[in-house]
């Protein structure tokens, strides 16, 4: 059962118990889930050109959408409130949703830096040009699975065009299966009052094709390792209704879906999705397609982040294993020169693992794979994360090898090499 001091409701706690992370995540989350907006988060929201919002329509169905404006259209008058000077586009499924007392979830996401923060609360003051929200919970998220994109404003002067669908047409199927990003709205409101109740807006990302349309009204997507909060899955355990929105980043369109979800905890098809922990099956109730919904366009920052899959874990000594990675999608990896390092991101592998580190590459160039060798330090957050949580099949994000600690083989100057850590 949820307790008054826990940042999680009963559904989230049940998932944590089932997956064996409950005792570890509870004390950690009590430190990072807050009942207010830290000053850093208040400044973060104020510079965004859009936010993702989750809410319910008049029939109680959850939907997700994007609200847009000039940076500053989201303000935090104080640490317990948020003011949004924007409304949904005409025809949006949440066009008339933001009445007083309505549960709302916010995801602030800066695609260019891959930063994201979340809020849940309730509408406290609706207005014709926007609304205000009383904050219940806030917390930050790691950058895992976020694809870097740079935005620009493009006012087309075209009126948004709305089309409703009750099934996935071939055109919608191509959109969905070509997507590398979507946002999902879920929620749970139990009896009584608790800041753990309400709506949640969350990000999901992967390689194009990670969402599959498997019928006229069905799609399926993987659920990867995250922060062990299980906000989305915990909500769905209590209420299987969900909303999904896909963004046409090139043309500013939205595809909003609402329906019901079934969680497949032990699917035989998990092998199709390296690193996935579960599959989520979504049955469509209604789809809303809005062309020209947004005055924003995004360009992908090509190839700066790669998903890597660990293929070997080699024990070099009692304290030092080597971790060998190949590309998750089977494509070629950027080559490197001896002396360079690999910047890796350790997210979603347990409390304290949301960090980035650089490790020297310990294999030779031209092999089509990366190897790092890491000594375990008793107080080292990253080394303990790697040693204790990363096994063969795990998925990590990494940037291209970098560093200028290089030898010039043509130089006549002598070289002195000094060893520290695991070696030269």
Handedness of CA 153, 97, 15, 244 (dihedral sign): negative
pLDDT reading at 395 higher than 90: no
The C-alpha atoms of residue 87 and residue 77 are separated, in whole angstroms, by: 19
Percent of the chain with pLDDT over 70: 96
Nearest to 65 by CA among 291, 318, 316, 244: 244
The C-alpha atoms of residue 69 and residue 311 are separated, in whole angstroms, by: 44
Q: Angle, to 10 degrees, between the axis of helix 10-18 and the axis of helix 22-32?
A: 140
pLDDT reading at 317 higher than 60: yes
Determine whether 11 is exposed, middle or buried from the number of CB atoms within 10 Å of its CB (0-12, 13-18, 19+).
buried
- Least confident stretch, 92-101, 196-205, 332-341: 332-341
- Residue 279: band (very low, low, confident or very high) from pLDDT cuts 50, 70, 90: very high
303 vs 360, higher pLDDT: 360
Tell me the pLDDT of the chain averaged across its residues: 90
The C-alpha atoms of residue 259 and residue 320 are separated, in whole angstroms, by: 48
Question: Is 387:372 a contact under the CB 8 Å cutoff?
Answer: no
Angle, alpha carbons 244-248-253 (nearest 5°): 85
pLDDT of residue 93: 97
pLDDT reading at 1 higher than 70: no
Determine whether 379 is exposed, middle or buried from the number of CB atoms within 10 Å of its CB (0-12, 13-18, 19+).
exposed
234 vs 352, higher pLDDT: 234
pLDDT reading at 302 higher than 70: no
Domains in the chain with CATH codes:
10-300 (2.30.110.10), 305-399 (2.40.30.10)
pLDDT of residue 349: 45
- Least confident stretch, 172-186, 345-359, 398-412: 345-359
412 vs 52, higher pLDDT: 52
Mean pLDDT of 122-126: 96
pLDDT of residue 348: 52
């Amino acid at each position: 059962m949820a307790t008054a001091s826990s940042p999680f409701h009963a559904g989230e706690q049940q998932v944590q118990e089932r997956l064996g992370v409950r005792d570890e995540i509870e004390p950690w989350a009590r430190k990072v889930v807050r009942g207010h907006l830290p000053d850093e988060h208040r400044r973060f929201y104020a510079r965004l050109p859009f936010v993702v919002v989750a809410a319910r329509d008049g029939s109680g169905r959850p939907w997700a959408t994007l609200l847009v404006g000039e940076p500053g259209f989201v303000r935090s008058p104080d640490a317990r409130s948020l003011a949004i000077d924007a409304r949904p586009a005409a025809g949006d499924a949440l066009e008339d949703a933001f009445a007083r007392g309505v549960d709302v979830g916010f995801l602030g996401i800066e695609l260019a830096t891959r930063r994201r923060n979340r809020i849940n609360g309730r509408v406290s003051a609706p207005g014709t040009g926007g609304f205000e929200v009383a904050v219940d919970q806030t917390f930050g998220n790691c950058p895992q699975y976020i694809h870097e994109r740079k935005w620009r404003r493009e006012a087309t002067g075209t009126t948004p065009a709305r089309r409703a669908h009750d099934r996935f047409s071939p055109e919608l199927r191509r959109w969905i299966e070509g997507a590398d990003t979507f946002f999902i709205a879920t929620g749970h409101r139990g009896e009584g009052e608790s800041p753990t109740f309400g709506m949640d807006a969350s990000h999901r990302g992967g390689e194009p094709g990670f969402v599959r349309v498997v019928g006229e009204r069905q799609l399926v997507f993987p659920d990867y390792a995250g922060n062990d909060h299980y906000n989305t899955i915990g909500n769905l355990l209590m209420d299987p209704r969900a909303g999904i929105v896909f963004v046409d980043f090139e043309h500013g369109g939205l595809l909003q879906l609402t329906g019901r979800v079934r969680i497949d905890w032990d699917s035989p098809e998990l092998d199709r999705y390296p690193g996935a922990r579960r599959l989520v099956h979504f049955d469509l109730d209604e789809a809303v397609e809005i062309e020209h919904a947004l005055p924003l366009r995004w360009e992908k920052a090509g190839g700066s982040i790669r998903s890597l899959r660990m293929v070997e874990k080699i024990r070099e000594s009692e304290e030092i294993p080597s971790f060998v990675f190949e590309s998750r999608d089977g494509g070629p990896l950027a080559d490197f020169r001896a002396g360079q390092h690999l910047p890796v991101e350790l997210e979603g592998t347990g409390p304290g693992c949301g960090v980035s580190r650089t490790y020297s590459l310990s294999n030779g160039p031209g092999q089509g794979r990366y190897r790092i060798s890491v000594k375990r330090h008793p107080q080292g957050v990253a080394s303990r994360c790697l040693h204790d949580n990363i096994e063969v099949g795990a998925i990590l994000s990494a940037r291209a090898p970098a560093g200028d600690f290089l030898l010039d083989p043509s130089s006549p100057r002598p070289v002195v090499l000094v060893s520290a850590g695991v070696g030269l």
